[in-house]
Structure 1
Amino acid sequence: MTASLIKPRIGLLGTGPWAAGTQAPALAAHPGVDFAGVWGRRPEAAAALAAAHGTTPYDDVDALFAACDAVAIALPPDVQAPLAVRAAEAGCHLLLDKPLATTVTGAREVVRAAEKAGVASVIFCTLRFATGTREWIAEQAAADGWFTAHARWLGALYSPGADSPYAASPWRGEKGALWDVGPHALSVLLPVLGDVTSTTAAAGLGDTAHLVLRHTSGATSTVTLSLSAPAASAGATVELLGAAGVAELPAWGGGTESFGTAVDALLHAVRTGESHPCDAAFGLRLTEILTEAESQLRR
């Protein structure tokens, strides 16, 4: 993708609920890109999703890479990582989903491939791009004197009576809330409080994980994550406490709009050569933190 390309060509890898409900509509509606095609592990699903948005289905993922300047990926993390490496090697810029991978080795390989190929990358951590929260995060990061923070992300994906299509996701069932919604919480805390210097983790009911983190600023934070909470208690919040008082994460916009902003961020990184703060290297750091927490939960 070059600065001279008015409408860069972006392909989509993935055909599941997230791809169909968020990424494909956002790419089709974005005025600054050409939604160039869809590849999926199920060719019939790729054909249906491509037809719904007036683009081309691909049976061969390498053919999609060759036809595109960038790719957006909506696949399980450990399927995403090796395909992202191949896309980077083919010269495609990367719009990636969180988590980047569930192994440090897998995440590191993506970072190395992107650096070697000189391609830009953005990790779609929703709150970093959503209207309301992206401005709020920047404002809190610019403030001094934060003492502590509390993040709570409780989903009811696996509670009785839940009917979310994401409940059928094998990787979510295996890895749980730590890996699915943990990146959301960390993507807010790290820009404000600094990188994590120590992690303590304890398990709760179901897939619930409790984390206590120390940050480079000296502040500490607590994080509670679950996909098996009762429906009546589900919800997400981040609360910061410090010299300026208490600041609470505001409501945020929808996923399609937020993904469109992530596309803008990737285009800006490509055209300026400036790395986005929420890039593959940030995704690697999230994987390192979550891997440490997971190892403690297993012990």
Structure 2
Amino acid sequence: MRIGLLGTGPWARMAHAPALAGHDAVDFVGVWGRRPDAAKELADHYGVRAYDDVDALLAEVDAVAVALPPDVQAELAVRAARAGRHLLLDKPLAVAPERARAVVEAAGETGVASVVFFTTRFGADTESWITEQAGTDGWFTARAQWLAALFAPGSGGRPAGDSPFAASPWRRENGALWDIGPHALSVLLPVLGDARRVAAAAPGPGDTVHLVLDHTGGASSTVTLSLTAPPEAAGATVELRGSAGVAVLPDGDEGIVQTLARAVDALREAADTGRPHACDAAFALRVTEILAEAEALLGS
């Protein structure tokens, strides 16, 4: 599979580019970015071509990996799908359901495969746990907490940490609901079933949000999300309780490059077999719809 990278930001540099360059079963063709100088720098580092024109890149690949802000991603994913290119996308697919739906429709019209990189779903230990719990009956309730200190105040009002993502405009604008909400839903939905409705949504300190979900499997879940938690409180946990007892999501111990390589493998398999992956664009659309419902409740 010949694959190109769209995007040159921190996520592209630390995850996508090394994962594509180090993968034995794909040919990393080149990089396009909104900043040509950054595209050239990243491409030169891996000995591939920097493209000034995204359509020129699309003409020379079988697939694209996208590491761009959500709504930029959605627009380019539609363009790539209509060119017949398979899609390795990031979460959230978009922050507007209609834009996410356009990606699903374009992929459906051309028959291209899509995989959306919900990180927890591609870790070996975490995916095995999710599969095991999805096959277990009797879950009564679940609690998911995804707390990060990305925007926690530090000295002088600056973010407490040195994360390269702290400067991300779309994260600042959309907050934890859209940045880490997809992670929580990617674990809860395959285990408890789709969310029939967002029963409640309430704001907390900073950008913190609290959600209550009613699932088709009969269970309910609570979700707490934040990018402004104190560093000492940061961490992620998912706890399930039901007739089978208590189950807690294990910590993933793989690096992000290895985890993303698994997503590349999933895209290759979906493209080869024609069987949709569980984390395809249609699943990502559903995640966007649920988060949009929560956002509407928070704004009411």
Identify the residue that residue 291 of structure 2 maps to in structure 1. Answer: 290
SS, match of residue 212 in structure 1: strand
Counterpart mapping for 1:5-154 below 5 A: 8-154=1-147
Which consecutive aligned stretches of 4+ in structure 1 deviate over 4 angstroms post-superposition?
none
Which amino acid in 1 is paired with 2:97? V
> What residue number does 1:4 align with?
none
Q: Which amino acid aligns with 2:11?
A: W
Match of 1:183 in 2: 182
Q: Which residue of 2 aligns with 1:245?
A: 245
CA deviations on 1:59-102 (whole Å, 9 max, x unpaired) are 10000000100000000001000100000011100000000000
* Secondary structure of residue in 2 paired with 1:67: coil
Alpha-carbon distance in structure 2 between the residues aligned to 1:293 and 1:116: 30
The aligned length equals 292
Partner of 2:148: 155
Give distance in 1, aligned partners of 2:136 and 2:296. 33
Report how far residue 198 of structure 1 moved.
1.3
Counterpart of 2:290 in 1: which secondary structure? helix
Structure-1 separation of matches of 2:85 and 2:216: 34
Q: Which amino acid aligns with 1:133?
A: T
RMSD, aligned α-carbons: 0.6
Query: Which residue type is aligned with residue 182 of structure 2?
Result: P
Residue 131 of structure 1 deviates from its aligned partner by 2.0
Instruction: For 1:21 and 1:31, locate their aligned partners in 2 and report how far apart those are by CA, in whole Å.
Output: 18
- Distance in 2 separating the partners of 1:254 and 1:189: 23
Structure 2 match to 1:233:
233
Tell me, yes or no, if structure 1 residue 207 matches structure 2 residue 207. Answer: yes
Q: CA deviation at 1:185?
A: 0.3
Give me the whole-angstrom Cα distance separating, in 1, the residues matched to 2:162 and 2:22: 28
DSSP 3-state at the match of 2:173: helix
After superposition, give the CA deviation of every residue in 1:120-176 in whole Å (9 maximum; x if it has no partner).
000100001012101111111011111100000000001122221101000000000
Q: Report the TM-score, using the length of structure 2 for normalisation.
A: 0.96
Question: Are positions 1:219 and 2:245 aligned together?
Answer: no
Q: For structure 1, which runs of at least 5 residues remain unmatched after alignment?
A: 1-7
CA distance, structure 2, for counterparts of residue 272 and residue 243 of structure 1: 37
- Counterpart in the other structure of 1:265: 266
Q: Using the TM superposition, give the Cα deviation of residue 53 of structure 1 relative to its aligned residue in structure 2, in angstroms.
A: 1.2
Structure 1: which amino acid aligns with 2:106?
A
Aligned residue number for residue 3 of structure 1: none
**Matched residue type, 2:202:** A
What one-letter code is carried by the residue in structure 2 that aligns with 1:168? A
Structure-1 residue corresponding to 2:157: none
1:54 shift after superposition: 1.5
Q: Distance in 2 between matches of 1:259 and 1:23?
A: 7
Structure 2 Cα separation of the partners of residues 67 and 166 of structure 1: 31
Is there any run of 5+ residues in structure 2 with no aligned partner, and where?
A: 155-159
- TM-score, scaled relative to structure 1: 0.97
What is the deviation of 1:251?
1.0
Residue 99 of structure 1: SS of its match in structure 2? coil
Kindly state the Cα deviation for residue 42 of structure 1 after the two structures are TM-superposed: 0.4
- Alpha-carbon distance in structure 1 between the residues aligned to 2:25 and 2:102: 30
